[in-house]
Amino acid sequence: MKRIVVLITIILLITANMNAQNLKGNNWIARKVDSTYIVSVADKSSVLDALTDFVIAQKIPAGQITGIGATNEATLRFFDPVTKKYMDKTFNEQMEISNLSGNISEVQGKPMLHLHVTLGRKDYTALAGHLLDAKIRGAGEFFIYPISSKVIKVKNEAVGLNFYDFEKE
């Protein structure tokens, strides 16, 4: 009976490991478990560059990104719908990435990461907005949930932003 339990445990451990895979790329390492990726972005590297490299390397057509970590340089964008222009502002200070939420889609044949972020400052107040890019200073921990088909966004000239276009394949 004891042998059977040991054998079943070994089989379960082997099967569990078959669903997990370790990966690495430019300034990131990842573990794929079932269809979910856990991604670690390296200290002192760009979140946008690392996650874009990851998405291209893993051929992820679309999906969801969530993350936490820390940064010492983040550029936020604010979209003005009247001028249809972005105003960018860079914050050079140590901050917690208390939340990063985003999605992956395709714009003009290229992967597009749309990221928003909440940053915690030293005085515990928060900054928030559309994230252009941030440099990790400390840890950068992300979960990425891909879907199997691509989702396209097209620039809506009237508004000045990329909108989902579900008619496009």
> Within 13 Å and on the Cβ side, how many CA atoms surround 72?
7
Cβ–Cβ contacts within 10 Å for residue 19, how many?
Answer: 10
**Is 132 one of the binding residues for Fe ion (CB under 5 A)?**
no
* Closest residue to Fe ion, based on beta-carbon distance: 130
**Is 32 one of the binding residues for Fe ion (CB under 5 A)?**
no
Closest CA to 27 of 52, 1, 2: 52
The interface region with Fe ion, picked from 7-15, 63-71, 91-99, 130-138 by CB under 5 A, is 130-138
User: CA–CA separation, 71 vs 92, rounded Å?
Assistant: 9
Residue 153 near residue 107, CB atoms below 8 Å = yes
The interface region with Fe ion, picked from 38-46, 51-59, 125-133, 149-157 by CB under 5 A, is 125-133
Nearer to Fe ion, 98 or 103 (CB): 103
Near Fe ion by CB under 5 A: residue from 127, 130, 160, 165: 130
**Is 86 one of the binding residues for Fe ion (CB under 5 A)?**
no
| Shortest Å distance, C-beta 48 to Fe ion | 13
Q: What does the block give as tokens for 119?
A: 């940053």
The interface region with Fe ion, picked from 6-14, 99-107, 129-137, 149-157 by CB under 5 A, is 129-137
Closest CA to 39 of 68, 78, 5, 6: 68
Interface ranges with Fe ion (CB under 5 A): 130
